[in-house]
A and B are shown apart, each in its own frame.
Chain A
Amino acid sequence: MLGFLTARRAGLDDPLRLRRAESTRRVLNLKLNPDRDVDRIHGNGINSIDIETIEGRYMLSGGADGVIVIYDLENYSGKPQYTCKAVCTVGRSNRHVHKFSVETVLWYPYDTGMFVSSSFDKTMKVWDTETLKPAEVFEFESNIYNHHLSPIARKHSLIAVGTKNPKIQLCDLKSGSKIHVLQGHKAEVLSVRWSPRYEHILATASADSKVKVWDVRRASGSLFSLDQDNGDKSKSSSEAVNTAHNGRVNGLSFTSDGLFLLTTGTDDRMRLWNSATGENTLVNYGKVCNESRKGLQFTVSQGCSPEFVFVPCGSSVAVYVLHTGELVTMLRGHYNNVDCCKFHPDHQELYSGGKDGNILAWVPVLRASDMEEESDQKNKVHTSLPRLDKRKTKRG
């Protein structure tokens, strides 16, 4: 670590190198920390978590009881022991609360004044965070599984909505109307994601085993559909041609640079695709247990080298290296199935929520000062806050 710092100071290394190395070290050290807790408000399972990208301070969670909670993740108390308190809640007593379970919650990408939630009560509500009243309600004819707003869009403000209906709706935030429909899937759409690289590219995953990539400006149909055999017709049975998975595709995630797309399916496989060509990179992650009938929210790390994928797998979260498919570790701590997880890129923390109603914070373990025998005298003088031990000159 000191070697990296000296090299950066001397200009031998790019500043990015130190940052990447330290981020990776922190991600590899993720553990449940007894000092960090998240307030338990939800009585039932938690379906979706989102952390806002502007400050990285507020977290939204949507639960199976229709309740939406906003938490403050920052620790200004000065003590290491901290519980992330719920700042405000859209509880059952609120007049506008969703009637059934909230499936997806998402912050507005540009500020925390607004957030969007969609639910099994067939409505999608755009909420004003100050007053906790919906500024806009979009009604649909069937259960909504997933929605997504483009994180980089400047020219449009569309929300893509995946419902039980095979048609994907695009709703406009500015006008408040459903302006566009994307046709092509044959079964319910379980997950939709905008690309973080191009504001018009959208990927959708459906229960008909297909994943389609669309350009919303094009009226005629999808750009391409992901094929797990890369066109090699010999491998699959002749009915299952051109499918991304051998079962329902229930999870989608772009990497933070938008160059790759990850999909998970109920055939217990996870696949990595090149998002520009739709080619299966054939990285083999092994068996990624997946029994979810609805969507699964998984996440990719940012700013590390190599990048990691955090996938909820039963009641634990599996961490894989993105490009080689190696299983790094399983984060165990939940009492029941884990449904969603979200990576906090600034602090390299992982928040995961599940059916047990708990949100667990996985925090990087700080370097332990294990040269305690010699430094006992000096330690007594310093405060009790954990700190990097400067005497670790041996480390790289």
Chain B
Amino acid sequence: MNRKRALVSDTFKVKKRKTGSEKFGVVDDHGDGQGDIKSTIMDLMTLFPRKLFNDAVPQIVLKHQLYSIHDKTMVDKEVNKLRESGSLLMFQLGFDAEAFGLVFASDYKAKVLAGEEGKATRATVEKFLEKVVSKCTDLSFSKDKMLREFLFTDSEITQLVKSGVLTVRDAGSWWLSIPNTGKFIKYFIQGRKAVLGMVKKSKYGEVLKDDLEQRRTTSHVKFHIKYHINDIVGAELVESVPTTSGTLLRYVDS
């Protein structure tokens, strides 16, 4: 008797008894429209602790956190669509070449302007937000682009870097960035390492996802543990195995 469930392609699914496509962690709501990705982003954003940073930082979700919930190619396409429409902004976070942070445009603008209250650089930053962020969906800007297309002067660029909206990438080009995120990235990396360590140290290097969510976290983990779990699953630092007792997270040695 063949105990293993066979994989069945869509064309043969009459009774939908054996839907093989569910086997590898892909969720069964395949027909997701744009609305669902957006609502997932908003759900994930609620996990982000605002109080920790005294409300100075907008809620950030990482793109690979979405991979743990939806189909990867679809996530990429939907995120690109949202970026084109201007409602979502993407940033290169710097600690990993593939880690992109997503922030809602309205959130970002509100927080940046709030941070600039009473500072001399406020006018330049406002101008930057209006002209550049609303129109261009790039992650980085080079010097001639800034000077020619957007007509910013050198001193204005310096002000933008000072205010934290631009970060130096290399001579003559800058990444778009979120001000005051230094602490966020530090806590994020610390938390990721701690949660990954928790999975690694478990017996056999694996732990049930529900079990991990219930555990008490050390002081190193400042964010909600679900935020970190989505991150490590999406970045494929742990393998997510469906079992009869729920999802199992297994440490991937690489």
Contact = CB atoms under 8 A, between A and B. Distances in A.
Nearest to B100: A235
B72 A325 contact: yes
Contact of B12 (A25, A324, A325, A327): A25
Interface stretch (B21-29, B44-52, B126-134, B155-163): B21-29
A285 to B, nearest CB: 8
Q: Is the interface of A mostly helix, strand, loop or mixed?
A: loop
Interface stretch (B1-9, B33-41, B53-61, B205-213): B1-9
A90 interface: no
A21 B9 contact: yes
A124 to B, nearest CB: 36
B15 interface: yes
Contact of B2 (A282, A286, A368): A368
Contacts of B6: 28-29, 365
Given A238-B169, A365-B2, A368-B2, A324 B71 contact: yes
A28 B6 CA distance: 8
A301 B60 CA distance: 41
A237 B169 contact: yes
Contacts of B9: 21, 24-25, 28, 306
A237 B170 contact: yes
B73 interface: yes
A87 interface: no
Interface string B114-154: 00000000000000000000000011111000000000000
* Interface band, chain A: 20 to 34
* Interface band, chain B: 35 or more
A271 B24 CA distance: 20
A346 interface: no
Contact of B15 (A232, A246, A326, A394): A394
B254 interface: yes
B26 A24 contact: no
A234 B14 contact: no
Interface in A304-331: 305-306, 324-329
Contacts of A21: 9, 11-12
B28 to A, nearest CB: 13
Contacts of A396: 11-14
Contact of B138 (A234, A285, A394): A234
Interface in B186-238: 236
B26 A326 contact: yes
B6 to A, nearest CB: 6
Given A238-B169, A326-B71, A287 B236 contact: yes
Contacts of B7: 28-29, 328-329
A305 B140 CA distance: 40
Contacts of A233: 138, 140, 142
A284 B9 CA distance: 20
A199 to B, nearest CB: 32
A1 interface: yes
18 contacts: A21-B11, A24-B9, A25-B9, A25-B12, A28-B20, A233-B140, A235-B140, A238-B173, A282-B73, A283-B73, A284-B67, A306-B9, A324-B71, A324-B73, A325-B71, A365-B2, A365-B6, A368-B2
Interface of B: 1-2, 6-9, 11-15, 20-21, 23-24, 26, 67, 71-73, 75-77, 92, 97, 138-142, 169-170, 173, 236, 254
